[in-house]
Structure 1
């Protein structure tokens, strides 16, 4: 790479599918562009692990402390975020105290939504939730 040139890499992000069998999945209504409902998530800070970023973003946007229970996948389509190329590591999680759900940080609203009654989702979060649901279906007898 030529001297003084910055590398052009996708920005690392995390998203979290916080799932409760009785309540559904947690979605946040975004305050900032792009508008719409989305999974809690955001950018990984320098020096921070993806797992720590997932815990932090979930707490900041939903008020929930969570336990990560698995990896849903890695999503890196250059068009997944209209603001620029991002690469998201997506975790499945459970809330320790689901009743404490409240919008925070850059979320205008936060709520559980049943998997069969989701609003239109921002980014590629519809695909992520479908992938998560496929994983659930494989676990059920």
Structure 2
């Protein structure tokens, strides 16, 4: 269990430690053939939406654009908000809150950075299991698309 207090290095006073969820972004990148999924290079292994942690001083939108470029080599345009996902158990490593965007991708997809592999999947032929809560996210995405809300 983490300590509830840290000692101030300057004066030795006890300073309370706060644990907060970590912000992340996930991106549903639409291509003519389907959506882009990456095969994760790091644990948990498997197929996932491109995405990652938001850097300090970075907007959610800028993080989505950066992560898409880093992991897929694609350029993305107007971001459409799909939703926010905050179940404390969505990532076994830590409590994260993900803001999820949908967008169109341009360029030739190529796995890079944290992605060991990459493929474009038609929505009707997604892998049977996805990392994190990405199956739930994609169900929401499909439902919103059918209703014409995305």
The question of 1:15 aligning with 2:49 is answered: no
Secondary structure (helix, strand or coil) at the match of 1:71 reads strand
* Residue in 2 that maps onto 1:114: 122
- The answer for the alignment partner of 2:143 in structure 1 is 134
8 Å Cα contact 2:24-2:54 kept in structure 1: yes
In 1, distance between residues paired with 2:125 and 2:44? 21
- How far apart are 1:7 and its partner, in Å? 1.8
Paired position in structure 1 for 2:74: 64
The CA deviation string for residues 70-111 of structure 1, in whole angstroms up to 9 with x for no partner, is 1000000000001010000000011122xx100000101011
| 1:6 aligned onto 2:14 | no
2:51 maps to 41
1:67 CA displacement? 1.0
The structure whose Rg is larger is: 2
Whether the aligned pair in 1 keeps the contact of 2:65 and 2:76 (CA below 8 Å) is: yes
> Distance in 2 between the 1:127 and 1:42 partners?
17
TM-score (structure 1 length as normaliser): 0.92
Q: Which runs of 5+ in 2 are unaligned?
A: 6-13
What is the correspondence of 1:81-100 to structure 2 with a 5 Å cutoff? 81-97=91-107, 100=108
Distance of 1:34 and 1:124 partners within structure 2: 12
Superposed CA offset, 1:89-141 (max 9, x none)? 000011122xx10000010101110111111110000000111101110119x
Q: Which has the higher contact order (CA 8 A, sep 6+)?
A: 1
- SS in structure 1 of the partner of residue 67 of structure 2: helix
> Size of the alignment, in residue pairs?
137
Tell me by how many angstroms 1:68 deviates.
3.1
Unpaired segments ≥5 residues, structure 1: none
Please list every run of at least 4 consecutive aligned residues from structure 1 whose deviation after the TM superposition is greater than 2 angstroms: none
